[in-house]
């Protein structure tokens, strides 16, 4: 299986690039942000609780997102692999994911980070907020809070995967196609290695 963690701050382009990677490599897209927004739209108890935190730019508890991912991984046991987008966002989530994949006889192949500076992120998110309808993209203070959550809680996740020799970074500023090609180069190299080890 090819299991990729697509990593980067809010607005780095994870959603855009995930969409392109899914088509090319036939992977299942698991975005905890999208899953949480579906819960909100369906008006579930989980969605109502999550909304309070999301509206304040704060992270949802680890066990909630790990539980959602676990259900989806089990639903798609036959998949060629997964792209995890917006997850894991804390070290305990990364540990939970390792355990859950191990229980399903697989593992993370790599984390690929999209690197974008804070100023560009704020600009992109405010622009996205004009059309996405996402309340958390329309307020500059909230965007700063999300970037702050990322810098304090999520960045250490990169070290976690670096410690396993699985961390790669790609410049997230430039043409969409150019960034996509850089991501594909890393993924193709991983696939080749997987073939060699078969
Ligand atoms: P995103 O769509 O990835 O930008 O996520 C939107 C919001 O959903 C975040 O600001 C968090 O409040 C929440 N969220 C999404 N994924 C996670 C996660 N893995 N852990 C905790 N909270 C999350």
Q: What is the pLDDT of residues 76-95, one digit of tens each?
A: 989 999 999 999 999 999 99
Residue 62 placed within a domain: yes
Is residue 144 flagged as an active site residue?
Answer: no
Residue 171 placed within a domain: yes
pTM check: above 0.75: yes
Is residue 89 flagged as an active site residue?
Answer: yes
Is residue 14 flagged as an active site residue?
Answer: yes
Look up the domain containing 74 and give its range: 2-116+156-181
Residue 9 to residue 79: CA distance in whole angstroms? 27
In the sheet with 110-115, reading across from the earlier edge strand, the strands are: 28-31, 81-85, 2-7, 110-115, 167-171
Which ligand 1 atom is the nearest neighbour of the CA of 57? 10
Residue 23 placed within a domain: yes
In the block, which residue shows the tokens 């939970």? Answer: 96
Residue 104 placed within a domain: yes
Q: Which of 52, 99, 115, 134 is catalytic?
A: 134
Residue 12 placed within a domain: yes
Q: How many domains does the chain have?
A: 1
Phi-psi region of 179 (alpha: psi -120 to 50; beta: other; left: phi over 0): alpha
Of the residues 15, 54, 114, 138, which should be mutated to test ligand 1's pocket, given the most ligand atoms within 8 Å of the CB?
A: 54
Which ligand 1 atom is the nearest neighbour of the CA of 37? 8
Q: Are 74 and 132 in contact (CB under 8 A)?
A: no
> 196 CA distance to ligand 1 centroid (A)?
36
Residue 68 placed within a domain: yes
Q: How many CB atoms lie within 10 A of CB 166?
A: 17
Q: Over its length of 198 residues, how does the chain's per-residue pLDDT go in tens digits?
A: 999 999 999 899 999 999 999 999 999 999 999 999 999 999 999 999 999 999 999 999 999 999 999 999 999 989 999 999 999 999 999 999 999 999 999 999 999 999 999 889 989 999 999 998 888 888 889 898 898 899 999 999 999 999 999 999 999 999 999 999 999 999 999 999 988 988
Extract the annotated binding site for AMP.
Answer: 32, 37, 58-60, 86-89, 93, 134, 146
Residue 174 to residue 160: CA distance in whole angstroms? 27
> 61 CA distance to ligand 1 centroid (A)?
10
Q: What is the pLDDT of residues 31-63, one digit of tens each?
A: 999 999 999 999 999 999 999 999 999 999 999
Q: What is the CATH number of the domain that holds 90?
A: 3.40.50.300
Q: Where are the beta strands (DSSP E) in the chain?
A: 2-7, 28-31, 81-85, 110-115, 167-171
Identify the burial level of 58 via C-beta atoms within 10 angstroms of its C-beta, where 0-12 means exposed, 13-18 middle and 19 or more buried. middle
Residue 76: in which H helix or E strand, if any?
none
Residue 101 placed within a domain: yes
Residue 128 placed within a domain: no
């Amino acid at each position: 299986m090819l299991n990729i963690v697509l990593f980067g701050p809010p607005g780095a382009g994870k959603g855009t690039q995930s969409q392109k990677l899914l088509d090319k490599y036939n992977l299942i897209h698991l975005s905890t942000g999208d899953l949480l927004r579906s819960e909100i739209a369906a008006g579930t108890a989980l969605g109502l609780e999550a909304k309070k935190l999301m509206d304040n730019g704060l992270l949802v508890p680890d066990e909630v997102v790990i539980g959602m991912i676990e259900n989806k991984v089990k639903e798609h046991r036959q998949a060629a692999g997964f792209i995890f987008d917006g997850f894991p966002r804390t070290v305990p989530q990364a540990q939970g994911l390792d355990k859950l994949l191990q229980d399903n006889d697989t593992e993370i192949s790599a984390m690929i980070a999209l690197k974008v500076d804070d100023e560009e992120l704020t600009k992109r998110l405010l622009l996205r907020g004009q059309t996405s309808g996402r309340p958390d993209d329309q307020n500059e203070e909230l965007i700063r809070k999300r970037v702050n959550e990322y810098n304090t809680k999520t960045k250490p996740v990169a070290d976690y995967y670096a410690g396993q020799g699985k961390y790669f970074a790609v410049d997230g500023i430039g043409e969409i196609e150019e960034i996509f090609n850089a991501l594909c180069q890393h993924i193709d190299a991983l696939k080749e290695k997987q073939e060699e080890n078969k």
